[in-house]
Amino acid sequence: MISEQLSYSPVAGRWDEMLDVDGALRPTWQAAARALGPFDPRDLLDRQRQADRLLDAEGTGHLVHELSLATDRHGNSAAARSVSRPWRLDPIPFLIDAVDFQHLTQGAVERMQAVDALLADCYGPRTLVAEGVLPASLLHSLPSFRQVAGSHRPPAWLVHYAVDLVRDARGAWHVVHDLTDAPSGFGYSLLNRSVLARVMPEGLRGLGVAAIHDHADFLRQALAAVTPSGRISPRSVVLTPGPADATYVEHSYLATRLGLHLVEGADVVMRAGRLWLRVLDGLEPIDVVYRRVGDAHLDPLEPGHHGGGSGVPGVVWGARAGGITLANAYGSALAEAPELAPFVHEASTRLLQRELSLPLWTEGAQLASSPVFVDGGLEGRPVVLRLQVARVGDEFVVMPGGAGRVLAEGDHPARPTAQVVKDVWVTGSGARVRHHVPLGAPPQVDFGGSVPKRVADALYWLGRAAERAEVTARAARVITTQLEQDPMLPTIADGAWAAGAVALLRAAQSLPTAPIAFGVSAGDAVLAELNSTSNAAAAQLAALVQEAASVREYLSTTTGRVLGRLARVHADLADGSVGVDDLDGFLVDLAALSGLMMESTVRGPAWRFLDLGRRLERALAVLGAVEGALGLAVTGFAQQPVADAVLKAHESLVAYRRRYRSEFDLDAVLDLLLRDDGNPRSLAYQLDRLREHVSGLAWPEGASLVLAASTQALAGIDDAVVNGRVVSVDAFVLSVRGPLLDLAAAISQRWFADPVNPTLMRGF
């Protein structure tokens, strides 16, 4: 049993969270001993590994994975955009009885109301200052005090509030820190619970653990409740600093769970007193901003802004003018100032005539310890409990659970350094009581066709990077396999095969064909180009993961697991330490990603740009391979292996052998790769899909460019096939590639290259 396992722990001392004042196991943990079984290190290690894998599948691997050697398509270092690290979810939950939690619920609501009253007073009548309770010099000296916030009273200062609590060795709870600016932890709590619900489903059922997933519904209602008056179809968005932010994983997960757009500063613009979302076909109004951006980085036009050019120019003015609601209100960071914490109690007693039931934590007070699985064994460590509260109209809803942050040796409770968290389980009688907050539901509006331009841009380049990563990896695999099967290939036909192999590998990297340098052996040239191709695959993979990280909410949940595996492959590709088997696994993951893109993504404008990028890149890749390897004067015994390599690199070798039942024939190879619209890897097939996409986007210029490419393809293929001359291949490729490159340029120019330059509105 649990108590027996603890007696074997090398850590001496009390497990205060599990024991009552008499040293007996609390009833909650007695029930846990029956539901969870003994804390066997082998079982705990297995649970921890499962939790790691599931967290990785949810994006904590690829969303915060440092791709240190990579740059994105804009030339920015990927490492600079991903500086955070995944956390570890402890396989032992933090248990609290429903009766005890009710006390915390009451205390958290009282605290939120007191903090809200304090903010309203500091930015309003300043009663506490007038009565000499709060020194005016202290208030005005705080960097987080935004004096301009007092010119307008928002619908609510706090819509979402979080509070950190600790339990002392005697079992009493204390407040450590109020979180009011852009409080984090809610999304992490949902994510952690989703993982442990799969790792320990019997434990959740056996202990009757309170569900927390519906708290997202309350938060969505809370946002709708503060919509500016008169808006009949309110729209809320989640504002994030972007993938470089340390808590971006949570932002992405929350946006998906709430069903809201995740937007960055460049996605929105203030015009005519309102905030607008930049979408593919213009601007769409926004009513409520659930901001994950702090006060100091929100609006570059406001005094005290610390984010350089980040944020949304004019959004604070828009909130003061009543055109947009910020949740939480601008200026709410004031309540997080440690200097102001001692005055929260006075705010409650003087402004609300109510005593707070949860006292502040006293520096140096001994904290209770909880069992934590660390390095294969049990240790006793303090845990900071973070509770989440949503205000829905006049109702306050506390999530029945939360996230517990484990403290390392010497940690201050407000500043944990250990990257270990616990899922908080509220158990016992009454744990499953659900909140019902009546609120009129807003009219149903279909936002399926609403796609921010940044999202479409990222998906388009995600599609291109995924296709190019596959092309480079497949070309490297094919040439490596041929070399392993016949090490003498570089020497045949006076190096003709080596010239064809190098040309194919360079084409996969979008590089022009170049002769093997004088004095370099054919074999060394092929090996050098294989290494370069591996690096190119790593770069494309890095771009793929980075683009996916910025649009995670548009991809299926299963996609996260594939992206996590691809992120881990990056280092091996970058240093060239991959073999054929590794490339096979990599290609399987890319195929899985492609399948998820096709079968698990709703066919809307977002998906259309994703597939548009894939089809355009595949068409260019086929043309490059044909020009590079088949456009050479490859003769003799080298013709067959070079043709096989080209066909296999584009998944067409099996089809060729089944259909033509012949050895090398240039006409037949070109027919299958270029003309056969039934071959999903052929140029003709890609042109058909491109035609469908530009038609679906109602884009005449794009349709004209696809038509030009198709016309050149139809006019040029026959000449190339009939004559069978090498020079005709080059002419054909040039005639078709031109319109396709023009199409790529036009896509960026039409959809992504028109930045909005916001102008100052009247009232600044």
CA neighbours closer than 13 Å in the CB half-sphere of residue 573? 33
pLDDT at position 194 is 92
pLDDT at position 78 is 39
pLDDT at position 518 is 79
pLDDT category at 760 given cuts 50, 70, 90 is very low
Beta carbons within 8 Å of 388's beta carbon, 6+ residues apart: 160, 161, 162, 183, 185, 186, 189, 215, 398, 399, 402
Beta carbons within 8 Å of 313's beta carbon, 6+ residues apart: 270, 299, 300, 301, 758
Beta carbons within 8 Å of 14's beta carbon, 6+ residues apart: 23, 169, 369, 380
DSSP state of 25: B
Residue 404 DSSP SS3: strand
CB 601 within 8 A of CB 610: yes
Closest CA to 748 of 609, 611, 545, 598: 609
pLDDT at 200 over 70: yes
Average pLDDT for 309-323: 91
CA neighbours closer than 13 Å in the CB half-sphere of residue 388? 26
pLDDT at position 86 is 62
Ranked by mean pLDDT, which of 264-278, 303-317, 562-576, 715-729 comes out on top?
Answer: 264-278
pLDDT at position 443 is 52
pLDDT at position 81 is 35
CA pair distance 544, 62, nearest whole angstrom: 10
Give the DSSP per-residue string, 533-569. HHHHHHHHHHHHHHHHHHTGGGS-HHHHHHHHHHHHH
CB 36 within 8 A of CB 200: yes
CA pair distance 610, 588, nearest whole angstrom: 19
Give the DSSP per-residue string, 196-220. HHHH-HHHHHHHTPPP-TTHHHHHH
CA neighbours closer than 13 Å in the CB half-sphere of residue 43? 10
Average pLDDT for 697-721: 82
pLDDT at position 77 is 41
Structure tokens at 165: 């609590």
pLDDT digits 0-9 by tens, 379-393: 889 999 999 999 998
Q: 54 or 9: whose pLDDT is higher?
A: 54
Average pLDDT for 672-698: 94
* Backbone φ and ψ of 650, nearest 5°: -115, 30
Average pLDDT for 462-480: 93
CA pair distance 332, 309, nearest whole angstrom: 22
pLDDT at position 576 is 64
Beta carbons within 10 angstroms of residue 172's beta carbon: 12
Residue 373 DSSP SS3: strand
Question: Among 195-209, 249-263, 651-665, where is mean pLDDT lowest?
Answer: 651-665
CA pair distance 670, 222, nearest whole angstrom: 61
Average pLDDT for 32-36: 76
Domain boundaries, the chain: 2-39+87-213+336-427, 453-752
CA pair distance 495, 634, nearest whole angstrom: 9
pLDDT digits 0-9 by tens, 737-753: 999 999 999 999 998 87
pLDDT at position 724 is 43
Placement of tokens 């079968």 in the chain: 599
Q: 659 or 439: whose pLDDT is higher?
A: 659
pLDDT category at 477 given cuts 50, 70, 90 is very high
Ranked by mean pLDDT, which of 48-57, 79-88, 287-296 comes out on top?
Answer: 287-296
- What is the bridge-based pairing of β-strands 261-263 and 236-239? parallel
pLDDT category at 56 given cuts 50, 70, 90 is confident
CB 192 within 8 A of CB 419: no
Bridge partners for 370 per DSSP: 381
CB 348 within 8 A of CB 354: yes
CA pair distance 427, 294, nearest whole angstrom: 34
Closest CA to 91 of 9, 187, 199, 206: 199
Please report, in angstroms and rounded to a whole number, the separation of the first and last CA atoms in the chain: 67
Structure tokens at 453: 């331009």
pLDDT category at 664 given cuts 50, 70, 90 is confident
Average pLDDT for 600-604: 79
Structure tokens at 554: 């548009």
Placement of tokens 């199409």 in the chain: 743
pLDDT category at 158 given cuts 50, 70, 90 is very high
Q: 448 or 253: whose pLDDT is higher?
A: 253
Structure tokens at 146: 């935004």
Q: What is the CA radius of gyration of the chain?
A: 31
pLDDT digits 0-9 by tens, 65-109: 333 334 444 444 433 333 334 688 999 999 999 999 999 999 999
pLDDT at position 35 is 77
Residue 277 DSSP SS3: strand
CA neighbours closer than 13 Å in the CB half-sphere of residue 326? 31
Cβ-count burial 443-468 (b if 16+ within 10 Å, e if not): eeeeeeebbbbbbbbbbbbbbbbbbb
Structure tokens at 751: 């959809």
pLDDT at 129 over 90: yes
CA pair distance 622, 475, nearest whole angstrom: 12
CA pair distance 494, 638, nearest whole angstrom: 9
Average pLDDT for 457-461: 94
pLDDT at 631 over 70: yes
pLDDT at 212 over 90: yes
CA pair distance 539, 452, nearest whole angstrom: 26
From residue 277, give the alpha-carbon distance in Å to each of 578, 604, 635: 44, 18, 58
- N residues, the chain: 764
Average pLDDT for 251-273: 91
> Average pLDDT, whole number, for the chain?
84
Closest CA to 249 of 385, 416, 58, 451: 58
pLDDT at position 64 is 45
Question: Among 462-466, 576-580, 693-697, where is mean pLDDT lowest?
Answer: 576-580
pLDDT at 754 over 70: no
Question: Among 279-293, 355-369, 500-514, 547-561, where is mean pLDDT lowest?
Answer: 547-561
Sort residue 402 into left (φ over 0), alpha (ψ -120 to 50) or beta: left
pTM comes to: 0.85
pLDDT category at 186 given cuts 50, 70, 90 is very high
CA pair distance 583, 589, nearest whole angstrom: 10
As a three-state string, the secondary structure of 31-88 is HHHHHHCCCCHHHHHHHHHHHHHHHHHHHHCCCCCCCCCCECCCCCEHHHHCCCCCCE
pLDDT at 541 over 60: yes
pLDDT at 14 over 50: no
Give the DSSP per-residue string, 719-745. HHHHH--HHHHHHHHHHHHHHHHHHHH
CA pair distance 58, 53, nearest whole angstrom: 9
Average pLDDT for 295-316: 88
pLDDT at 494 over 90: no
CA pair distance 455, 692, nearest whole angstrom: 21
CA pair distance 476, 538, nearest whole angstrom: 12
pLDDT digits 0-9 by tens, 554-567: 887 777 778 877 87
pLDDT category at 436 given cuts 50, 70, 90 is low
pLDDT at position 517 is 81
pLDDT at 10 over 90: no
Question: Among 315-324, 422-431, 587-596, where is mean pLDDT lowest?
Answer: 422-431
